[in-house]
Amino acid sequence: MRIIIRTLRLLAVIGLLAGCGDSKEVRFSGRTMGTTYHIKVVVSYFKQTDYLKKEIEQRLREINRSMSTYIPDSEISRFNTALKADLPICISDDFYNVLTVSATLYQMTQGAWDGTVRPLVALWGFGGRKQTERIPTQEEIDTVLRNIGFDKIVIQKNKCLIKKNPRIALDLGSIAKGFGTDQIAAMLRKQGFDNFLVEIGGEVYASGVRQDGQKWRIGVNTPHKESAYDQVYKMVTLKDRALATSGDYRNFFEKDGRRYSHVLDPCTGYPVQNGVISVSVMANDCTFADGLATALMVMGPDDGLALVKCLNDVECLIVTQSEDGCLNNYYSPGFRVEND
C-alpha cells in the first residue's frame, strides 16, 4: 500500500510539473573577449544542463586564445609579431575559418572592411586600454597606410598564412565576437539543443523559439552615448538567424569641437565622417553579420544599402545622425521591426 501511495504522489508531482509546462529556460552568463556573454537554452523539464557552463567557457577560451591581441602568445599575436615575408605560418581551424570570411568581406566591400587596420587603430589611440585622444599627422597616417591591406596576406588551402608585407598586423575585433557566437550556437546544436539564444557583446544568434513558442525578441540599443545598454531603439524578432550591431556612439573622443570615432576608414586612414552612428545586420551567421556591420559603417547608407540589396538572406538597418541630433533610419527591404 505504501509503495502505491508513493507512486501516486510521484505521478501527481509529475502531472503538476507537466501542467506548468514541459520545458524550462536555463541561463548562462560570464565574461569573454573583453565583454560579457549571455545564453538562454530552452530544454525539457528534466534535462540536465549543469555541464554546459564548463563546455561553453572552454570553447570561448579556445577562441580567445586564438584571436585576442591582448594575449601575447595567442595565434593572432604570433602572426602580428612574425616579421618575415613569404614565410608560411600554420594556423588553427578557427583562425582559418575567420580569415576565410574576412577575405570575402574585404573583397565584397572593396576594402571597407579590412582586418589589417591594427597599426591604424593604434596610431589613433584606440588600440590600448587607455585612449590617447591625439590626432595623427598626415605623414604618420600615410606611413601606416603603406602597411594596411588584407590583400597583402595569402591564405593557403593547407591552412597556412603568408605575409607579403612583414609589417602587416591583424585586428579581428570586429568579427571575432560574431564567430564566437556562431561557435557556441554550433556547440549547442551538436549537444542536441534546438531552441536557444546566444549573445556575446551584443552579437546574437537565435535558434528555434522561446519557451512560449514565439520567436526570440532582440532589442537594438539606442545609439546615444548616454543611453543605457538595455535601452531599446528598435525591436526585431529572430528565428534561426543572427543579428550583429556596430556603432561609434560609445568609443570616440572629441577635439577642437570635432568628433573622432574608433571606426576607421582603411582607405583614408581617418575615422568615418559620414553621419552613420549605428548599423545592424541580419544574416544566417553572426561571423558574416558582425564584419559586414562594421563595413557598412564605413560605406555609408547609400553604398551600404546598395550592397545589402545584392546579397541573399541579408538585411540591415543603418542609422545616421544629423547635425541637429535627429536620427534617420535606412532599412533594407526585408528588415522588419516591431515598434515602428
In a domain, 339, yes or no: no
Q: Is the pLDDT of residue 14 over 70?
A: no
pTM for the full model?
Answer: 0.90
CATH number at residue 131: 1.10.3980.10
**Spatial distance between the Cα atoms of 34 and 320, rounded to a whole number of angstroms:** 27
Same domain, residue pair 312 and 257? yes
Length of the chain in terms of residues written: 340
CA distances from 210 to 6, 40, 43, 196, 217 (A): 35, 9, 10, 7, 9
* pLDDT over threshold 50, residue 4: no
- Indicate whether 11 belongs to any domain: no
Beta-carbon contacts of residue 271 (< 8 Å; ≥ 6 apart): 124, 248, 252, 260, 261, 262, 263, 264, 265
Same domain, 178 and 248: yes
Distance between CA atoms of 181 and 340, rounded to whole angstroms?
Answer: 28
Asked if 251 and 235 sit in the same domain, the reply is: yes
Q: Is residue 169 part of a domain?
A: no
| Same domain? 206 vs 109 | no
Q: How far apart are CA 31 and CA 261, in angstroms?
A: 25
For residues 2 and 246, give the distance between their C-alpha atoms in angstroms, rounded to a whole number.
63
**Position 339 pLDDT exceeds 70:** no
pLDDT higher than threshold 60 for residue 20: no
Query: What's the pLDDT tens digit per position in 30-65?
Result: 999 999 999 999 998 888 888 999 999 999 999 999
Angle between helices 93-108 and 176-190 (to 10 degrees): 130
Residue 3 lies in a domain: no
Residue pLDDT, tens place only, 272-294: 989 999 999 999 999 999 999 99
Any idea of the CA torsion for 94, 177, 295, 161, to the nearest 10 degrees? -20
* Residue-range definition of the domain harbouring residue 301: 23-65+174-331
Does residue 3 carry a pLDDT above 80? Answer: no
Structural element, H or E, at residue 206: strand 203-207
| Domains identified in the chain, total number | 2
